[in-house]
Amino acid sequence: MNQHSSDDTVFNAKVALILVDIQHDFLPGGALAVPHGDEVVPVANQRMPRYQLVVATQDWHPPDHASFASQHSGTQVGDVIEWDGGPQVMWPDHCVQNTGGAQFAAALQIDRFDHIVRKGTDRRIDSYSGFFDNNHRRATGLHEYLNQRGIEELHVMGLATDYCVKFTALDAVELGYRVVLIYEGIRGVELQPGDCQRAIVAMQQHGVQLAT
Ligand code: VGL
Ligand code: ZN
């Protein structure tokens, strides 16, 4: 009856939805479980039909990835080491290529994805952002993909607020996109209390808009 309520507005062709790392290992029970991470899945499913372009990022690490504590003797999960010229958080083995943990959440309607960007594939360097590795040396190709399709605005949601969502949104702003964070669709790791709140403030300070 009410076909034009704001809830089911379809955004114009210059707006894309970016779903960040909604994968098994980041859901409760996964290797790097984000508390309440599963709650973003219905939000993503509900939102996808409203966009003409949907892109998902997928953390996709080799088994010996340098972000894994298992690769650095004497380190524990949560430690921060100096690695390749920058700080690197030590994570549990997660999102290993071609394992179940790297798959998208089972309930996620992946048939609605237009494109998937895999990141963190080089063992030597981590890649929180969907656009660049953590040292901004190599691009993933996401910017070119969006650019070729005339995308000017990105609506970002997924996991985790304080890592991959944050760095994807910050890079997007820097690349010139208008960026909107879908608040109900993000959850964070919160290694330190307040990390998620600080991440949201940092994003806002860099020009990310918050959609609640
Ligand atoms: C992520 C830590 C390590 C994320 C990925 O998706 O936020 N966090 N790898
Ligand atoms: Zn990772």
Q: What is the mean pLDDT of residues 130-155?
A: 97
Neighbours of 155 (CB within 10 A): 22
Of the candidates 119, 166, 171, 196, the residue annotated as catalytic is 119
Closest C-alpha to ligand 1, atom 8: 163
pTM: 0.96
**Do residues 185 and 40 touch, judged by C-beta distance below 8 A?**
yes
Averaged pLDDT, 79-90: 94
Q: Which ligand is nearest to the CA of 120?
A: 2
> What is the DSSP secondary-structure string of 13-66?
TTEEEEEE--BGGGSTTSTTPPTTGGGHHHHHHHHGGG-S-EEEEEE-B-TT-T
pLDDT in tens, 90-101: 999 999 999 999
pLDDT in tens, 91-135: 999 999 999 999 999 999 999 999 999 999 999 999 999 999 999
Q: Domains of the chain by range and CATH?
A: 15-61+97-211 (3.40.50.850)
Atom in ligand 1 nearest the alpha carbon of residue 26: 6
Contact 80, 86 (CB under 8 A): no
Active-site residue, from 21, 25, 59, 126: 21
